[in-house]
Amino acid sequence: MSDVAPQLPKAYEPSAVEADLYADWERAGLFHAEPDASGEPFSIVIPPPNVTGSLHVGHALDNTIQDVIVRRERMRGKNAVWIPGTDHAGIATQMVVEKQLAAEGLTRHDLGREAFLERVWAWREESGGTILRQLRVLGCSPDWEREAFTFDEQRNRAVTKVFVDWYAQGLIYRGTRLINWDPALRTALSDIEVEHREITGELVHFRYPLVDGDGASDADGGIVVATTRVETMLGDTAIAVHPDDERYRHLVGRSVRHPFVEREIPIIADDYVDPAFGSGAVKITPAHDPNDHAIGERHGLAMLDVMDDAGAMSEAAGPFAGLDRFAARAAVKEALDGLGLLVEVKDHVHPVGHSQRSGVIVEPRLSDQWFVAVRSLAERAAEAVRDGLVTFVPERSARSFLEWLDGLHDWCISRQLWWGHRIPAWYGPDGELRVQAEQPEGEGWVQDEDVLDTWFSSQLWPFTAFGWPDATPELARWYPTSTLVTGYDINTFWVSRMLMAGLAFTDEVPFRVVHNHGLVRDEHGKKMSKSFGNVIDPLDLVEAYGADATRFALLRNAAPGIDVPLAEEWVEGAKRFVNKLWNAARFTISNLDGQRPGALPPEERRTLEDRWLLDALAAMHAEVDTAYDAYDWPVVARGIYRFVWDEFADWYLEAVKDRIYGDDVEAQRDARAVLAHVLEMTLRLAAPLLPFVTEAAWRPLTGSAGGAASLMAADWPEAAGQVNADARSRFAIVQGLVREVHRFRSQLRIAPSVRIELDVEPADATARAVLAEHAGLVRSLAGLGRLDVVDALPERAGSSSIVFPSGRASVPLEGVIDLEAEAARLRTERERALADVARLDAKLANEGFVSRAPADVVAKEREKRAAAERAVDELTARLAAFGVDA
RNA sequence: GGGCACGUAGCUCAGUGGGAGAGCGCUGCCUUCACACGGCAGAGGUCAGAGGUUCGAUACCUCUCGUGCCCACCA
Half-sphere exposure of A538 (CA within 13 A, CB side): 28
Residue closest to B19 C1′ by Cα? A839
Taking a C-beta distance cutoff of 8 angstroms, is the pair A97, A120 a contact?
yes
Q: Read out DSSP for A808-858?
A: EEEEE-TT-S-HHHHHHHHHHHHHHHHHHHHHHHHHHH-HHHHHHS-HHHH
What local confidence, expressed as pLDDT, does residue A838 receive? 80
Residue A880 predicted with pLDDT over 80: no
Residue closest to B56 C1′ by Cα? A849
Taking a C-beta distance cutoff of 8 angstroms, is the pair A393, A491 a contact?
no
Burial of A212 (0-12, 13-18, 19+ CB in 10 A): exposed
Q: Can you tell me the distance from the alpha carbon of A697 to that of A707, in angstroms, rounded to the nearest whole number?
A: 14
A34-67 tens-digit pLDDT: 999 999 999 999 999 998 888 999 999 999 999 9
Taking a C-beta distance cutoff of 8 angstroms, is the pair A72, A691 a contact?
no
C1'-nearest nucleotide to the CA of A742: B40
SS3 A204: strand
Mean pLDDT of A672-683: 96
- Chain B footprint bases within 7 A of protein beta carbons: 1, 3-5, 11-14, 18-19, 23-25, 28-30, 32-42, 54-56, 67-75
What local confidence, expressed as pLDDT, does residue A722 receive? 61
Residue A636 predicted with pLDDT over 90: yes
C1'-nearest nucleotide to the CA of A572: B37
The amino acid at A770: V
Residue closest to B25 C1′ by Cα? A569
Percentage of residues in chain A with pLDDT exceeding 70? Answer: 96
Burial A91-128 (b: 16+ CB within 10 A, else e): bbbbbbbbeebeeeeeebeebeeeebbebbeebbeebb
Which H, E and C letters describe A730-756, residue by residue?
Answer: HHHHHHHHHHHHHHHHHHCCCCCCCCE
For residue A811, CA distances in Å to A186, A747, A806, A825, A880 come to: 86, 14, 16, 16, 16
What local confidence, expressed as pLDDT, does residue A2 receive? 40
C1'-nearest nucleotide to the CA of A749: B29
Please state whether the predicted TM-score (pTM) of the whole model is above 0.90.
Answer: yes
C1'-nearest nucleotide to the CA of A632: B14
What local confidence, expressed as pLDDT, does residue A724 receive? 67
For residue A89, CA distances in Å to A149, A334, A612 come to: 10, 43, 55
Residue closest to B72 C1′ by Cα? A196
| Cβ-proximal residues to A596 (8 Å cutoff; 6+ apart), any chain | A676, A701, A702, A703
Closest CA to A250 of A274, A283, A277, A223: A223
A91-100 tens-digit pLDDT: 889 998 999 9
Taking a C-beta distance cutoff of 8 angstroms, is the pair A366, A287 a contact?
yes
Phi, psi at A692, each rounded to 5°: -80, -55
Straight-line distance from CA A90 to C1' B14, in Å?
43
C1'-nearest nucleotide to the CA of A285: B75
For residue A403, CA distances in Å to A193, A388, A390, A528 come to: 18, 16, 15, 29
Q: How confident is the model at residue A721 (pLDDT cuts 50, 70, 90)?
A: low
C1'-nearest nucleotide to the CA of A753: B32
Residue A672 predicted with pLDDT over 90: yes
Straight-line distance from CA A256 to C1' B47, in Å?
65
Q: Read out DSSP for A342-396?
A: EEEEEEEEEEEEEETTT-SBPEEEEEEEEEE--HHHHHHHHHHHHTTSSEEESTH
Q: What's the Rg (C-alpha) of chain A?
A: 37
Residue closest to B17 C1′ by Cα? A853
Straight-line distance from CA A868 to C1' B36, in Å?
39
A805-830 tens-digit pLDDT: 888 898 887 656 666 666 777 777 78
Phi, psi at A449, each rounded to 5°: -75, -20
- DSSP bridge pairs for A814: none
SS3 A862: helix
Cα angle A587, A592, A593; round to 5: 120
The amino acid at A242: H
Straight-line distance from CA A576 to C1' B11, in Å?
19
Straight-line distance from CA A740 to C1' B44, in Å?
21
H-assigned helices in A206-249: none
What local confidence, expressed as pLDDT, does residue A5 receive? 45
What local confidence, expressed as pLDDT, does residue A20 receive? 95
C1'-nearest nucleotide to the CA of A397: B4
Mean pLDDT of A620-638: 93
Residue A533, Ramachandran bin (φ over 0: left; ψ between -120 and 50: alpha; else beta): left
C1'-nearest nucleotide to the CA of A661: B33
What local confidence, expressed as pLDDT, does residue A826 receive? 74
What local confidence, expressed as pLDDT, does residue A213 receive? 65
Closest CA to A85 of A560, A463, A526: A463
What local confidence, expressed as pLDDT, does residue A837 receive? 83
Straight-line distance from CA A100 to C1' B13, in Å?
44
| Cβ-proximal residues to A159 (8 Å cutoff; 6+ apart), any chain | A421, A452, A456, A457, A460
For residue A790, CA distances in Å to A17, A510, A763, A783, A809 come to: 54, 70, 11, 19, 9
What local confidence, expressed as pLDDT, does residue A821 receive? 65
Residue closest to B40 C1′ by Cα? A742
The whole-chain average pLDDT of chain A stands at: 90
What local confidence, expressed as pLDDT, does residue A83 receive? 97
What local confidence, expressed as pLDDT, does residue A834 receive? 82
Residue A854 predicted with pLDDT over 50: yes
Closest CA to A150 of A68, A92, A198: A92
Mean pLDDT of A303-318: 91
Mean pLDDT of A534-563: 93
Straight-line distance from CA A68 to C1' B63, in Å?
44
Q: Can you tell me the distance from the alpha carbon of A605 to that of A666, in angstroms, rounded to the nearest whole number?
A: 9
Q: How confident is the model at residue A3 (pLDDT cuts 50, 70, 90)?
A: very low
Residue A651 predicted with pLDDT over 80: yes
A134-185 tens-digit pLDDT: 999 999 999 999 999 999 999 999 999 999 999 999 999 999 999 999 999 9
Dihedral sign computed on CA atoms, order A376, A379, A383, A384: positive
For residue A79, CA distances in Å to A33, A74, A102, A511, A714 come to: 7, 7, 49, 16, 14
What local confidence, expressed as pLDDT, does residue A1 receive? 40
Percentage of residues in chain A with pLDDT exceeding 90? Answer: 65
Closest CA to A311 of A413, A368, A232: A232
Straight-line distance from CA A847 to C1' B53, in Å?
19
Dihedral sign computed on CA atoms, order A188, A194, A200, A205: positive
As a dihedral over the C-alpha atoms of residue A736, residue A737, residue A742, residue A743, rounded to 10 degrees, the angle is 70
A461-491 tens-digit pLDDT: 999 999 999 999 999 999 999 999 999 988 8
What local confidence, expressed as pLDDT, does residue A820 receive? 67
A213-248 tens-digit pLDDT: 655 444 457 889 999 999 999 999 999 999 988 888
What local confidence, expressed as pLDDT, does residue A886 receive? 57
Taking a C-beta distance cutoff of 8 angstroms, is the pair A286, A301 a contact?
yes
C1'-nearest nucleotide to the CA of A197: B72
Cα angle A828, A832, A834; round to 5: 115
Q: Can you tell me the distance from the alpha carbon of A845 to that of A835, in angstroms, rounded to the nearest whole number?
A: 15
Q: Can you tell me the distance from the alpha carbon of A460 to that of A163, in angstroms, rounded to the nearest whole number?
A: 11
Straight-line distance from CA A227 to C1' B15, in Å?
53
Can you list the pairs that A786-792 forms with residues at least 24 positions away whose Cβ atoms lie under 8 Å? A786/A755, A786/A757, A786/A758, A787/A757, A787/A758, A787/A760, A788/A758, A788/A759, A788/A760, A789/A760, A789/A761, A789/A762, A790/A759, A790/A760, A790/A761, A791/A761, A792/A761
C1'-nearest nucleotide to the CA of A857: B18
Straight-line distance from CA A396 to C1' B26, in Å?
39
Straight-line distance from CA A857 to C1' B16, in Å?
14
Q: Can you tell me the distance from the alpha carbon of A686 to that of A621, in angstroms, rounded to the nearest whole number?
A: 10
